Structure 1
Amino acid sequence: MTTKLEVDRHKLYDTDYLRWIETTVEKLRVCDYSNIDWENLIAEIEDMGRSERRSLESNLVVIILHLLKWQFQPDRRSGSWKGSIIERRRRIRQTLKDSPSLKSYLEEVLVECYADAVEQASAETGLSVETFPQSCIYSAVEVLDSEFWPEFLPDETIEE
């Protein structure tokens, strides 16, 4: 059976999110645990973790995308590609500083992010997907290394 208090807590979450956050924080501060909207609080905390992982993935895809473009279209290198790589590396380093446990997640999703970046690089450059190596050609260390800028090697063979 749902009580009026439970309905009011859920209603506030649905009608005024900021007020719900402020109210929840205040209740936590004064240890008023019996009046906390636990269901939505737990869902929000879980979503925060998913959001951090999605942000990491998004930044990783953009870095790899621009590294691929940098490497496979050397005649079109631009300051915007370089700036984007630098900015996304900074974002990921800050994220890993704040949440070191995401480092292992970065290693886990590198291959998936590489595949996404290849697909996007092909779309943006007009180059065939087959132009790019099928397997990830960058390590996590290289992707985040501010000194790493891949060079195009015209006679290098693409591994399948």
Structure 2
Amino acid sequence: MNTNPLNPLITQKQLYDQDFCLWIEQTIKHIKEQEFDKIDWDNVIEELDSLGKSEKRELKNRLVVLLEHLLKLAYWETEREYNQRNCKGTIREQRRQLLLLLEDSPSLKTLFYDSLPKCYSDARKIVLDKTNLSDNIIPIEIAFPVEDILNYDYLP
């Protein structure tokens, strides 16, 4: 069904591909006015699904970065003096962002805990690659108390 005020020959589905911002404005308008028959439901569902996936991806990415810098601070002794401020800043910012994510979407807490082993393993590999530390220096299992990972005041 045609609902584009700028070009009456363009459908909502076409508008999605041609002008995403206008598609959003029109979709919101149709929802507010309860014009459900004018909504491009396929793309609405796709966008909502994508939003959920991006939140999950962001949580995992931030967790890897946080764990990477906790590991650097804890085990990269030769560079600690030079990189300590940078690591601490990154740790605090990643914690802040993770806590905001979890505050906005408390249901992500389960994903946080479920993702810890894989994210820790990824962070460990990154640190080993970046630092040339021997792999027996950094524990294979999570090296920090789980309750302290998001604790703003905790530093190894």
Question: Which interval holds the TM-score relative to the shorter structure?
Answer: 0.7 to 0.9
Number of positions where the alignment pairs a residue of Structure 1 with one of Structure 2: 147
User: Would you say the 8 A contact 1:106–1:140 is kept in 2?
Assistant: no
Identical aligned residues as a percent: 35
Question: Is the counterpart of residue 43 in structure 1 residue 60 in structure 2?
Answer: no
SS in 1 for 2:154: coil
Further displaced range: 87-96 or 131-140: 131-140
Give the distance between the partners of 2:155 and 2:76, measured in 1 at CA: 13
Measured on the aligned residues, the alpha-carbon RMSD in Å equals: 1.6
Report the counterpart of residue 128 of structure 2 in structure 1.
122
Give the distance between the partners of 2:77 and 2:132, measured in 1 at CA: 14
Give the distance between the partners of 1:49 and 1:142, measured in 2 at CA: 26
Are the structure 2 counterparts of residues 20 and 133 from structure 1 closer, same or farther at C-alpha, using a change threshold of 3 Å? same
Further displaced range: 117-126 or 6-15: 6-15
SS in 2 for 1:144: coil
Uncovered stretches (5+) of structure 1, i.e. residues with no partner: 151-160
Are the structure 2 counterparts of residues 140 and 50 from structure 1 closer, same or farther at C-alpha, using a change threshold of 3 Å? farther
2:114 to 95, 108, 119: 108
Q: TM-score, normalised by structure 1?
A: 0.86
| CA drift at 1:138 | 2.3
1:60 to 58, 63, 83: 63
Report the counterpart of residue 100 of structure 2 in structure 1.
94
Q: Structure 1 segments of 4 or more deviating over 4 A?
A: 4-7
Uncovered stretches (5+) of structure 2, i.e. residues with no partner: 4-9
Tell me the alpha carbon deviations over residues 45-76 of structure 1, each in whole angstroms, 9 at most, x when there is no partner.
11111111100001100010000000001342
| CA drift at 1:42 | 0.6
Q: Tell me which amino acid in the other structure corresponds to 2:37.
A: S
Question: Is the counterpart of residue 73 in structure 1 residue 47 in structure 2?
Answer: no
Give the distance between the partners of 1:103 and 1:122, measured in 2 at CA: 28
